Structure 1
Amino acid sequence: MHGVMGRPPGAATEKAATSPMMLLLLVAMTGVAPISLYMLVPALPVLATAFGHDISIAQMTVSLYMVGIACSQIIMGPLSDRFGRRPVLLAGLWLMVIASAACIFAESLPQLIAARFLQALGGASGMVVSRAIIRDLYSRERVGSMISLVIAVMMIAQMLSPLTGGLLETAFGWRSIFYVITAASLVIAVSIAVMLPETRRVRAGGSGFRGDVGSLIKSRTFVGYMLCQVLASQIIFTFAGGGPYIVVMQMGRSGAEYGAWFATTGFAYLIGNLFCVRFAPHHQLEKLIWFGLALQFAGSLLNLVWGIAGLNQAPPWLFGTQMLVMFANAFVMSNSAAGAISVRPEAAGTASGAMGFLQMGLGALLSQFGAYLGGHFATPVPLNLAIVVLSAACASTMIFLIPRRTLVLSEALVEQAEEEESGLL
């Protein structure tokens, strides 16, 4: 009865779920694209000089990379539901290996930009497929903690990636960054080919891509969880877009000081994910989301009060309360993502892809909006107000799209289905 939908097909996946190597593979496949993004950032001025272009053109190696990440999510997720996690993931990573090698030999900035887009298109397959693999391997209530654990480990590497890129560029030139990325992506691809079993749930009926999309769009629960996760992520993008202008232009501080203060919010997000890992296995997913939503709204509202009172003209006030928001944000994002990909587990790739696409697409717009709020006003109040609105919108999705009665019923059905399927297996 291994064809029963809802459980991973085979004993290999059950062993993989408890393997420390699986955690390392999940971290590697999730982090390879974002780490590669940030490694190149310190070398952008050198790229502009080397190819004789304006820095704004060199910046396209980053901006179009983010477009590639967004496109990859909406493509690779549904493909992984149809053809399996392994083949789609391996195809994406081999594309990244080839594109990274092409970056090494790029003779012009347009060639480099095109290769970077393909690099992101392939590498981001790991971001979307990893969430689907987590849902394949773990029960609904453990998904949030596993996502948090992967994010927590990945963020440590991600925070070090700009420093690594800067050191490589200084010591060996900008092409050395792509030698390292090519080697790392090759090692990850080979490791996955050797050690990762197929985890996709065997489908009882072939509803296909249209059926998956249709059922997800019609599900208020999926839409609610997805919007909650996406809107929570926009708090990060909006603050990141406006923060530099507030600190440098309004407060008169240096860019280096802004970088140091901004790192505190990343650290708070990391700690929030670690706390989520600790508490998620022992508490209902919705309770953790509500805890995060309440704390997130309280922190953003407090930041607005500081702004109106004029206290946010000093970084400790602005970033102190933003750290509280980011700590809470970790609870909201990981657990709402877990809820979204658990609505229809056999379509976890499609759900993950839609969520990632909206997250990156809206993120590009709201980071620009945040930059406008930070750069065109004399106080941080407009940016503070925008974050309060986003926090309230997150809570609204849980209130209006996922009624409490539906939650209780869905939880009971999920638990009953999993018990029946485990018995059949």
Structure 2
Amino acid sequence: MRFPWNKVIFLSTAAALGVISASLCAPALPAISKYFSAEFSALQFIISLFLIGNALGQFLCGPLSDQLGQRRIMLLGLSLFIMASAGCALSENLFFLLACRFFQGMGSAVGPVLSRAIAAKLFSQDRSAQVQSYGAVGVGLVSMLAIFSSGYLTLLSWRSNFWLAALLGVLMLLWTHLTLKDNGTKRLRPVSLTQSFKEIAQTVRHPVFFNYALCHSITYGLMYAYITLFPFILIAIFHENNPMQVGVYSAYMIACYMVGAFFAARLVLRWTSQRMVTIGIALQLFSGALLFVAPLSFILPALIVFNLSIGIILPVTSASALAPFAGDSVGTASSALGLSYRMVGSLLSICICQFPLFEGKSLALAITGLSLLSFMLYQRSTQEQRKGALPP
């Protein structure tokens, strides 16, 4: 069977839409502050409103895609993303820019939610895990390119970052129009927020979804905490406070994440999703133990192992959580997964970052303890799958 590289490239580009939007905006914040003579506290809304809009979009687009079709919602979301990105680029006052950022975040949500749903609907669990793992490699590569290119674009104008986002949206819109077929989903009932809440709550109660989604969310929480603490670890331990060097170290870690995802993609069909999750959690647990007991010289190797582990765990647990919903409710399940990892992951990250750094020991304890919890959740998931648990 010929591997669907065209679908992998399409889905990974769609999944990276939100990451690209965030990465392109961050370096432009000082220039935006100067242009609008705005305080830094006001500029924080540029990020937070994007995230709020993205969360609302994650909630809406999955159930809507089950009711109206994935193609239609993808085109609608991309159109909103294009208009909002162009609005950001044309903004002449800060309030209008903030409003456009909210809608940009809302439109960008269709990428990750529907890319997961499309992969789960088109492929078996292991093949979906492979496709999402290759997609994770693509997202990592696109993230690195966005981080490096955004700084150069800001030298031209802060508006150029948003024009690039709009251009990407136009290309994705054309690509979707030409290649994505309607999934045939047509539910003859009105779209209802109350019904969406009920469907997402029903999905979360499914035992296989709940355990895999929580395992997925725990890994996201550890990743958020690591991203927050990593610059401070470099400064506290290696006395490295050069932003350029911190960026280089961060790029190395993204590369390790990509290697882990590539490893999962190459081996998941041979070793199955269950075994790949076991390997990923074992590596994560090992990285936490190494970070806790090893001398300072082993901190970077421990973090390399940690990034390898999240590259394995995230795409495989995503595919496994959605596997029971490969029918007409896969969009709702993808929305539920997105909301789960954002809420649980953010909460865990905030809690972890409240503790003193202690040369990385607090992060080590969190990785070790939460990896053990992930392993227990994974064991429960495999037991439920053996029982043949079906969606309620």
TM-score (norm 1): 0.84
- 1:177 — aligned with what? 161
- 2:344 — aligned with what? 362
Match of 1:160, SS state, is helix
| Residue type at the aligned position of 2:127 | R
Query: Is the alpha carbon distance of 1:320 and 1:388 closer, same or farther for their aligned partners in structure 2, counting shifts above 3 Å?
Result: same
Check whether the contact 2:260–2:307 (CA below 8 A) recurs between aligned residues.
yes
Check whether the contact 1:71–1:357 (CA below 8 A) recurs between aligned residues.
no
| Residue type at the aligned position of 2:354 | Y
Q: Which residue, out of 353, 357, 377, partners 2:335?
A: 353
| Residue type at the aligned position of 1:302 | L
Q: By how many angstroms is 1:21 displaced? A: 2.9
Asked whether 1:407 is paired with 2:380, we answer no
Check whether the contact 2:88–2:97 (CA below 8 A) recurs between aligned residues.
yes
| Residue type at the aligned position of 1:352 | S
Separation in 1 of the partners of 2:48 and 2:82? 20
Separation in 2 of the partners of 1:189 and 1:150? 19
Cα-Cα RMSD: 2.5
- Consecutive unaligned residues of structure 1, counting only runs of 5 or more, are 1-14, 415-425
| Residue type at the aligned position of 1:253 | E
Q: Which residue, out of 55, 75, 78, partners 2:40?
A: 55
* Count of residue pairs the alignment pairs up: 385
Check whether the contact 1:22–1:196 (CA below 8 A) recurs between aligned residues.
no
- 1:45 — aligned with what? 30
Q: Which residue, out of 82, 102, 112, partners 2:87?
A: 102
- 2:362 — aligned with what? 382
- Consecutive unaligned residues of structure 2, counting only runs of 5 or more, are none
Q: By how many angstroms is 1:187 displaced? A: 1.6
Q: By how many angstroms is 1:18 displaced? A: 5.4
1:74-93 per-residue CA deviation (whole Å, 9 max, x = no partner) reads: 21111111111011111111
Match of 1:107, SS state, is coil
Worse overlay, 214-223 or 92-101: 214-223
Match of 1:33, SS state, is helix
Asked whether 1:246 is paired with 2:245, we answer no
- 1:298 — aligned with what? 286
- 2:149 — aligned with what? 164
- 1:12 — aligned with what? none
Asked whether 1:71 is paired with 2:49, we answer no
- 1:152 — aligned with what? 137
Q: By how many angstroms is 1:372 displaced? A: 3.3
Separation in 2 of the partners of 1:219 and 1:205? 24
Worse overlay, 160-169 or 379-388: 379-388
Separation in 2 of the partners of 1:156 and 1:252? 28
Separation in 2 of the partners of 1:185 and 1:275? 30
Q: Structure 2 matches for 1:266-281, cutoff 5 A? A: 266-281=254-269
Separation in 2 of the partners of 1:295 and 1:95? 40
Match of 1:402, SS state, is helix
Check whether the contact 1:241–1:369 (CA below 8 A) recurs between aligned residues.
no
Q: Structure 2 matches for 1:75-94, cutoff 5 A? A: 75-94=60-79
Query: Is the alpha carbon distance of 1:193 and 1:96 closer, same or farther for their aligned partners in structure 2, counting shifts above 3 Å?
Result: same
Check whether the contact 1:128–1:353 (CA below 8 A) recurs between aligned residues.
yes
Worse overlay, 109-118 or 159-168: 109-118
Asked whether 1:282 is paired with 2:263, we answer no
Q: By how many angstroms is 1:44 displaced? A: 1.3
Separation in 2 of the partners of 1:271 and 1:49? 39
Query: Is the alpha carbon distance of 1:20 and 1:247 closer, same or farther for their aligned partners in structure 2, counting shifts above 3 Å?
Result: closer
Larger radius of gyration: 1
Q: By how many angstroms is 1:365 displaced? A: 3.5
Check whether the contact 2:216–2:317 (CA below 8 A) recurs between aligned residues.
yes
